[in-house]
Amino acid sequence: MIQQGQTLPEATLNELTHDGMESHQVKQLFANKRVILFAVPGAFTPTCSEAHLPGYVVLADQIKAKGIDIIACVAVNDAFVMQAWGEAQNASEIMMLGDGDASFTKALGLEMDTANFGGIRSQRYSMLIENGVVTMLNVEEGSQFAVSNAETMLAAL
């Protein structure tokens, strides 16, 4: 599993924007930026839709006021699903990134097998990234939702 002080791995994440599909190289996307990246097991799932993403939507302005350039949400879903979920959640200040094949999640070592629920998914986590280096990492234990929320990240900034 990736640790604090390590550089993010090479990977591609996809985002569906008004201009079409954009493929982002992780290292380029987060270079020379302060980023909050949080991951959810799946778009449109209960905790993710009722608490995790909404917390970041509500606190986005306060988080960005602390010097954060990008707030990004990633899930092992395709970019079409992530874009639709972002619209449904009014997440216009959040970059909604799809890791459709879980390659980024696996490179981080933060995948989990949910078997018949959805297969390989991401563990729930949040991280602060500064110029491509993980400077804070909060990984949830099991199905918990206590350390990766927006309130915890905002307090830590």
Catalytic residues: 48
Q: What would the DSSP string read from start to end of 127-148? A: EEEETTEEEEEEE--TT--SSS
**Separation between Cα atoms, residue 20 and residue 62, nearest integer Å:** 29
> How many CB atoms neighbour CB 118 within 10 A?
13
Question: What is the separation, in whole angstroms, between the first and last Cα of the chain?
Answer: 23
Neighbours of 156 (CB within 10 A): 13
Give the residue among 102, 32, 116, 23 at the shortest CA–CA distance from 67: 32
